[in-house]
Amino acid sequence: MRIMFVGDSMTIGSAGDFTWRYRMWEHLNTTYGGPYKIVGPRQEVYDKLADAPVSHAYGDPGFPSHARRHLAGWGEGWLHMAPVIQDTLRTHRADTLLISLGLIDLGFYTDAPQTVDNVRRFVAEARAANPTVRAVLLPVIPNIRAEADPPFGAEVARFNGLLGQAVAELSTADSPLLLTSRPEGYDIHRDTYDGTHPNASGEHRIAAAFAAAMHQAWDVGDGYQLELSAV
């Protein structure tokens, strides 16, 4: 299994974050009995002072460089990833994508139907590189803008509904797509540090949502242990 994380600022993380990618790596090391590799063209987290993805200061300095790989970017969404996913997959040969995208698109670039069009383009481009690629998609999760701005919150809900329809329509036996549930117990006032970006407990809850979908559908790993009392 060759896993690639695809996402926006919540996935790349910023200097000092562990990231939910790290939590997922820990989970797989503990519960997955088969061989796997994390692949992708990037390793950095975002440096807010430099305003660029140039930091290697993860929350755990022992997070090995080979497990830090990803395709995630601060301020990037489906709009940005659809044009690059085919070449990235050809180069890095991922067969399993864990994707968290959509908030940036809806916040700055595209409405819900346009964003789903980019989801469809992304899937088509990914399959052009690997016809049997499989993917797990996280819906847009609670965030401060959706809570404070009801019209935006409604657009998020609209997108999530359309995303569910697209996943059901596009999933095939050869190239399955999964939509995770909303992370269990996710609360922006407890699980983020600014209303959007996950803190340690939020990272665990996001990783747990991906882990549950993979375990239930593909028997990958085991149940995610939410040891939130320690974070």
pLDDT at residue 229 greater than cutoff 60: no
Instruction: Give the residue among 9, 2, 6 at the shortest CA–CA distance from 28.
Output: 2
Query: pLDDT confidence of 230, banded at 50, 70, 90?
Result: very low
What percentage of residues in the chain have a pLDDT greater than 70? 98
> Does residue 226 carry a pLDDT above 80?
no
Note the pLDDT of residue 227.
60
pTM of this structure: 0.96
Alpha carbon 66 to chain centroid distance?
Answer: 18
Tokens of 18: 């562990």
Q: Which of the pair, 223 or 155, is modelled with greater confidence?
A: 155
* Structure confidence by residue, pLDDT tens digits, 38-88: 999 999 999 999 999 999 999 999 999 999 999 999 999 999 999 999 999
Contact status, residue 38 vs residue 221, Cβ threshold 8 Å: no
Amino acid 224 reads Y
Reported residue count of the chain is 231
**DSSP code of residue 183:** P
What does the pLDDT look like over 157-199, one tens digit per residue? 999 999 999 999 999 999 999 999 999 999 999 999 999 999 9
| pLDDT score for 147 | 96
List of domains in the chain: 2-230 (3.40.50.1110)
**How much is the pLDDT for 143?**
98
Assess contact for 78 and 111: CB atoms under 8 A. Answer: no
HSE-CB at 23 with a 13 A cutoff on CA atoms is: 27
